[in-house]
Amino acid sequence: MATKRNENINPNLVGNQVPEGGYTEKYTGGNAALDEGLSYWGNEYNKAKESGDAMGMQNANDNANMLRNQHGYAAEYATNDIQSVANANPEKNRGGLGSSSSGGSGGSSGSGGFSYGNAPSYVNRYSNDIAELSHLILNKEPFTYDPEKDDTYLQYEKSYTRSGQRAMEDTLGQVSARTGGYASSYAGAAAQQAYDTYMSALADKIPELKQLAYSMYQDDLANQRANLSMLMALEEGDYAKYLDTLGQYNTDRNFYYQVGRDTVLDNRYNTEWQHQLDREQLEDSRYDTEWQHQLDREEIEDQRYEDETEYERQQDSLDRAWQEDQAAFQNAMTRWTVLGVADAEVARVLGIPVGTRTTDWQYQQAQMRAMSI
């Protein structure tokens, strides 16, 4: 049987293969980097639990399981504990833990009483923020400008008005002084002209202030769009992590389900085989001792021949599988070298991300493996 590949394989292990059925070994300690990561997410899990935050517990559990998978160990799910906290704090977890149609329901499969833990659930931590920000952007009022509502304009207006009045008074005083201190129509006109000069300068400020207000409007819209893009990227990252965890869960579940089925089939085979042996024993008892002795010798020789033949067939099968694997590896390396970048076929065979270039360190490791074959 060819070894099954798992898409969650550690990308640092180019060419390595995950055991059939996925990661099944439970982590018991001894890896400093993994211990540090699990300790961090364990603390985050406990903090969320103390505050009744089931979504936070789910996120911490999912991240811890991703670390376990990256180091080749089986995931450990805390679904029941998380659900109990969610049930005890309905207001705080009003959105529920959520679920994905691709996640499956876990539990009993209906075949031979098989049961397994519930599938991990997906929690969109950013849905409310994304919806709120999208609403703000889509329903943003069109740009308008009213100088009477612009604080900057109102400050200019006070300043220019004050300066205009001062200029008007100064002009009126200077002209009146020339006429012996008596005001005249000329003095009034000159004073008004001085005042109007400042009012005209104030009016010239309006287009400038309008452009400034429009730039601020555009900047605010751009910032909202940038924040929306960031939130969507964070949500996509969370969902990708969830898919990785869900994939490992399904792999583990399928493995244990197959183990149960194999046990049932083995027991059935053993029962049928024993029944057949009993029948042959009854038939053999009808013969005399010499004939029985001869049959026993032939049976031993036949069994030895079958064992040797089966062993040779198994060896041939293993040799063919090994040659096919090596040929696939060499073809993938050649294709990678020609293309300069790993396409979907190369990524599937070598267990590397699609798009990996020949300039990356994975290519050097793969070359070293090819030289060792």
Per-residue pLDDT reduced to its tens digit, 162-172? 988 888 888 77
Q: Fill in the DSSP letter of residue 108.
A: E
- Indicate whether 356 belongs to any domain: no
In the structure encoding, which two tokens stand for residue 35, read together?
């211990």
What pLDDT is recorded for position 222? 93
Q: What's the Cα-to-Cα distance from 44 to each of 38, 51, 243, 364, rounded to whole Å?
A: 10, 11, 21, 38
- Indicate whether 217 belongs to any domain: yes
What pLDDT is recorded for position 18? 44
CA 221 to chain centre: 28
Please determine, for residue 7, whether its predicted confidence score (pLDDT) is greater than 50: no
Average pLDDT of the residues in 139-165: 89
Please determine, for residue 362, whether its predicted confidence score (pLDDT) is greater than 90: no
Please determine, for residue 367, whether its predicted confidence score (pLDDT) is greater than 80: no
What pLDDT is recorded for position 26? 85
In the structure encoding, which two tokens stand for residue 10, read together?
């550690």
> Residues 102, 247: contact at Cβ < 8 Å?
no
Please determine, for residue 95, whether its predicted confidence score (pLDDT) is greater than 70: no
Q: How confident is the model at residue 228 (pLDDT cuts 50, 70, 90)?
A: very high
Helix axes 185-284, 127-138, angle to 10 degrees: 140
Q: pLDDT digits over 121-134, tens only?
A: 888 888 899 999 89
What is the percent of the chain where pLDDT is above 70?
A: 82
Q: How confident is the model at residue 277 (pLDDT cuts 50, 70, 90)?
A: confident
Q: pLDDT digits over 195-220, tens only?
A: 888 888 888 888 999 999 999 999 99
Lowest mean pLDDT among 50-59, 168-177, 228-237, 294-303: 168-177
What pLDDT is recorded for position 234? 92
Average pLDDT of the residues in 31-48: 89
Average pLDDT score, the chain:
80
Q: pLDDT digits over 26-38, tens only?
A: 888 889 888 988 9
- Indicate whether 257 belongs to any domain: no
* Dihedral over alpha carbons 102, 107, 110, 113 (to 10 degrees): 150
- Indicate whether 82 belongs to any domain: no
- Indicate whether 10 belongs to any domain: no
What pLDDT is recorded for position 197? 87
What pLDDT is recorded for position 215? 92
- Indicate whether 345 belongs to any domain: no
Please determine, for residue 102, whether its predicted confidence score (pLDDT) is greater than 80: no
- Indicate whether 52 belongs to any domain: no
Hunting for tokens 């990356």 — which residue is that? 360
* Dihedral over alpha carbons 105, 124, 37, 40 (to 10 degrees): -110
- Indicate whether 159 belongs to any domain: yes
Work out how many domains the chain is built from and give that number: 1
Please name which of 313, 324, 260 lies closest in space to residue 21, comparing C-alpha atoms: 260
| Helix (H), strand (E) at residue 107 | strand 107-108
**Measured between alpha carbons, how far is 6 from 24 in angstroms, rounded to an integer?**
12
3-state percent breakdown (helix, strand, coil) of the chain, nearest 5: 70, 0, 30
Please determine, for residue 1, whether its predicted confidence score (pLDDT) is greater than 50: no
Type of residue numbered 24: T
More confident call, 95 vs 272: 272
Average pLDDT of the residues in 54-69: 84
Question: Which domain does 167 fall in, by range?
Answer: 133-230
What pLDDT is recorded for position 220? 92
**Measured between alpha carbons, how far is 15 from 347 in angstroms, rounded to an integer?**
10
Q: How confident is the model at residue 233 (pLDDT cuts 50, 70, 90)?
A: very high
